[in-house]
Chain A
Amino acid sequence: MRVLTYLAHRLLFVIPQLFGIILVSFLLVKSVPGDPAVLMLGPTATPAAIASLRKVLGLDQPLYVQFFIYVKNLLHGNLGTSWQTTRPVLDDLIQRFPATLELVTLSLLVAIVVGVTLGLYAATRPNGWIARFADLYGLSVGALPDFWFALVLIFVFYTMLGWAPAPLGRLDMIIIPPPSVTGALTIDTLLAGDLQAFGSGLSHLALPVLTLGLLNAGPILKMTQSTMEKMLESDFSRYEVLCGVPERLVTRHALRNALPSIVTIISVLYGFLIGGAVLVEIVFSWGGAGQYAVQGVLNSDIYPVLGFVLFSAIFSLIVYIVVDLIYVLLDPRISN
């Protein structure tokens, strides 16, 4: 019951939060130098042509009018049109966002498995070799740029060993993509019963997922390790030891208390990676949303950028609400 009331509470706040995000993003995007009309018409355009194009695009209006028009369109489901792809931004994003989401979700799963497992081991056996390895791992992984790591993996597994497919998108060229239901290839291919496509999709996912997964396991590992160490040193863990509770149970209870912190960092990573995976997307020609947004920024194509911000904002808000719900479930002290 307290879960439902909490949920209702949070959902109420989502609208003003979104509004604030859109407003700030709009202003930020508008303040980036670069005139879309100039870029669209090219360097040979005449001032008159530019001026008339600006009028058509509504760029001569005051900022608050432009904002008002934008929000009005949003409420009708119109996120604007990208002048690069010449398609509605909404359609572009519906196609690209799931690709990023699939990549990021699978990567995060890998990161969680690797990070939490290593972190647990390092915390419970602080003098073992895993702890030392974990320290090194955490250090180095923070220093490695993701695109570089991706290139290294490509070089090793594709160029040298030939195990991985070419880094050219999500499927082999010859495979026909399945009908799009969710946008995630792993799911859609299974739904369509196309196992060959499934295998192809999986093999293309391998390297980028490994890249993002292994690199982002670092912060998760560190957080797990430090929080678990604190929990194992805490009064209640030591009391359990005094009561003769066996070690694996003490660890389990400590983990339960450590989860809120670990879940927090996972949720932060999740939100970050939606945009943060862009370099990896570019290396693997993934056709994801991050790539799309970056192109928008570079070409002053504001609608894709704003659309991307909106999508990822909604996504992050959902993630945070889910995370907060998990807290409420985990910790009985939070509820009132």
Chain B
Amino acid sequence: MPETSAAPLIAVRDLRVEFPGANASKEVLKRVSLTVQPGEILGLVGESGAGKTTLARSILGVPPTSGRIAAGEVIFEGRNILDLPEPELRKLRGSRLSIVVPNPRAELNPTMTVGKQIAAMARIHLGVDRAQAARMALAMLSDVHIPDPQRRMNAYPHELSGGMAQRVVIAMALICNPAFIISDDATSGLDVTVQAQILSLLGGLAADHGSAMLFITRDIGIAAHFCDRVAVLYSGEIMELAPREELFLKPAHPYTLMLLAAFSHSPKLRDAWRVAETGARQIRDGGCSYANRCPLAQPVCSDGRPPFAEIRPGHFARCHFPVSHE
């Protein structure tokens, strides 16, 4: 992973996460590395099954059920947090490193009021007493622009709309002023006007608090407007990483091009970048994981895993034949 001039706030190095499979374990994340600079919003785009949620949760040391972190490090504040004992790690989670999850109504405790759940974060991590925590929770609810915050404090998750529940989860993630926020598909399933508000809220709060963010999404449109740098995840690997303008105006990896083509609704591009939809993608060991769908694939692509090369300053692509825009 290239070093930038400033020290990164958080660095993920060669993270490998496995899930048990029928015969052998399945590698869902294959040596993923990325860094996030202080105050930066790094976007991560990928389709379903690419490993986005696995990555989001594994960075915090809690891979999804039955997953296992096989290798890798997450360096934060000078230490590898994956090596820390669980109680130490829990102190970091929610306070210095927090996550905004999708489908909040499923993730919130159904038998506790949302006010209590937000306040609990303050009590657990900041050690404040019950009254102070309640005040902080109320203030946070106002900050996330929930209408009628006093009444909502006593609401249960199932009584809230999707948009409001999402705001609650954001409030929980931000109340302890974390240095780093992971937003995992935080706007999926929301109405587009609500999504616009949530995005502006998240961006604003992150800027106010000086937090860095890893913004994970399926919608590359959001990444184009919201993130400073964007990484593209495919089949558990980062295929391309570039500053926003570079990625969208000069995309290099064939997968990125295919994603953009799909979003453009252009019939011309569809034929050019058409990919045969296969039922089960054969995962070939040792080759490029995109090789069996890539229209530019050559024999060498199945043999060696392409290196993550810097094709232009700050612009990286994992491809033997990255597309040039000269």
Contacts and interface: CB of A to CB of B under 8 A. Distances in A.
B120 A245 contact: yes
Interface in B41-71: 57, 60, 62, 64-65
B140 to A, nearest CB: 14
Nearest to B64: A238
Given A236-B106, A256-B111, A331-B110, A243 B93 contact: yes
B95 interface: yes
A256 B94 CA distance: 22
A259 to B, nearest CB: 9
Contact of B110 (A236, A242, A243, A246): A236
Contacts of A256: 111
A245 B116 CA distance: 13
Given A236-B106, A236-B109, A333-B156, A242 B60 contact: yes
A244 interface: yes
Contact of B62 (A242, A253, A331): A242
Interface residues of A, number: 21
A257 B111 contact: yes
B109 A243 contact: no
B108 interface: yes
Contacts of A244: 89-95, 124-125
A245 B124 contact: yes
Interface string A242-262: 111111010001001100000
Nearest to B57: A242
Interface string A224-243: 00000000010110111111
Interface of A is mostly: helix
Contacts of B207: none
A256 B106 CA distance: 17
Contacts, number: 71
B231 to A, nearest CB: 21
A233 B65 contact: yes
B99 to A, nearest CB: 5
A242 B93 contact: yes
A332 B124 contact: no
A247 B86 CA distance: 9
B158 interface: yes
Given A238-B62, A239-B101, A333-B158, A246 B90 contact: yes
B172 interface: yes
A18 interface: no
Contacts of B108: 236, 239
A23 B97 CA distance: 65
Contacts of A247: 86-87, 90
A330 interface: yes
Contact of A330 (B99, B111, B120): B111
Interface in A77-128: none
B62 A332 contact: no
Interface string B72-96: 0000000000000011011111110
B213 to A, nearest CB: 16
A256 B156 CA distance: 15
A330 B64 CA distance: 28
A239 B168 CA distance: 13
A321 B101 CA distance: 38
Interface in B171-208: 172
Given A236-B106, A236-B110, A242 B91 contact: no
A235 B107 contact: yes
B112 A249 contact: no
B110 A333 contact: yes
B121 interface: yes
Contacts of B87: 246-247
A244 B87 CA distance: 9
Contacts of A240: 109
A238 B65 contact: yes
B95 A239 contact: no
Contacts of A241: 62, 90, 93
Interface of B: 57, 60, 62, 64-65, 86-87, 89-95, 98-99, 101, 103, 106-112, 120-121, 124-125, 156, 158, 172
5 closest cross-chain pairs (CB), A and B: A244-B93, A244-B94, A243-B94, A239-B107, A244-B90
Given A245-B120, A333-B156, 4 more contacts: A241-B93, A243-B93, A243-B94, A332-B110
22 contacts: A233-B65, A235-B106, A235-B107, A236-B109, A238-B64, A238-B107, A239-B101, A240-B109, A241-B62, A242-B94, A242-B99, A243-B94, A243-B98, A243-B121, A244-B93, A244-B95, A244-B124, A245-B94, A245-B120, A256-B111, A332-B156, A333-B110
